[in-house]
Amino acid sequence: MLTLEKTDSLPAPATYLRKANYYETDKMGIIHHSNTIRWMEEARIDFLEQIGWGYKKLEDDGLMIPVTEVSCRYKSPVRFGDTVRISVRVSAYQGVRMTIDYRITDLSTGSLRATGRSGHCFCNREGRPIRLKKFSEDFDRLLSGLARAEAD
């Protein structure tokens, strides 16, 4: 069972900065929409690191967190060289499932570029769904607290 050193205080909201690369552009000169989903994945992995539960360690210890659904609403284009801030928050957590919301804004202007959501479940090494509390009470408590904080 994994433990987290500080379970009594919640971390600050997680943000991830991402600079748009030239190879991510399309013929219209903007970042191809599929890259936004990849950036959400990068932000989620970084988020887990920020809260002390890095994905590599979780997988090594037998926990998988597969994506069960993903959606994205594009508001305005990102162009080569732009840097975006991706805010990540746990919007729902039920012990077996979790929903993460993303807000992508231009770092220099603050303009909204996209919003997104991903759904996840928790599985053991064999791919069978599990209650996170059985894997780690500390991780379960942390995600519960993050989801409750967002609901307030």
CATH number for position 34: 3.10.129.10
Q: Can you give the pLDDT at residue 86?
A: 98
1 part of a folded domain: no
Distance CA 114, CA 78 (A): 9
6 part of a folded domain: no
Over the stretch 73-120, which tens digit does the pLDDT of each residue have?
999 999 999 999 999 999 999 999 999 999 999 999 999 999 999 999
| Residues 50 and 12 sit within 8 Å (Cβ to Cβ) | no
Amino acid identity for residue 83 in this structure: T
Domain count, the chain: 1
Tell whether the model's pLDDT for residue 5 goes beyond 70.
no
117 part of a folded domain: yes
What mean pLDDT is predicted for residues 124-147? Answer: 96
Query: How many CA atoms are closer than 13 Å to the CA of 14, on its beta-carbon side?
Result: 23
Q: For every residue of the chain, which 3-state class applies, written as one string?
A: CCCCCCCCCCCCCEEEEEECCHHHECCCCEECHHHHHHHHHHHHHHHHHHCCCCHHHHHHCCCECCEEEEEEEECCCCECCCEEEEEEEEEEECCCEEEEEEEEEECCCCCEEEEEEEEEECECCCCCECCHHHHCHHHHHHHHHHHHHHHC
Give residue for tokens 């509390």.
Answer: 133
Of the candidate ranges 3-12, 102-111, 117-126, the one whose mean pLDDT is the lowest: 3-12
Chain mean pLDDT for the chain: 91
Q: Can you give the pLDDT at residue 150?
A: 74
Identify the band that residue 2 occupies on the pLDDT scale cut at 50, 70 and 90. Answer: very low
- Which residues span the domain enclosing 48? 14-151
Q: Highest mean pLDDT range out of 3-7, 23-27, 115-119?
A: 115-119
Q: Can you give the pLDDT at residue 3?
A: 36
The tokens describing 64, both together, are 């998988």
Distance CA 139, CA 141 (A): 5
118 part of a folded domain: yes
Tell whether the model's pLDDT for residue 28 goes beyond 60.
yes
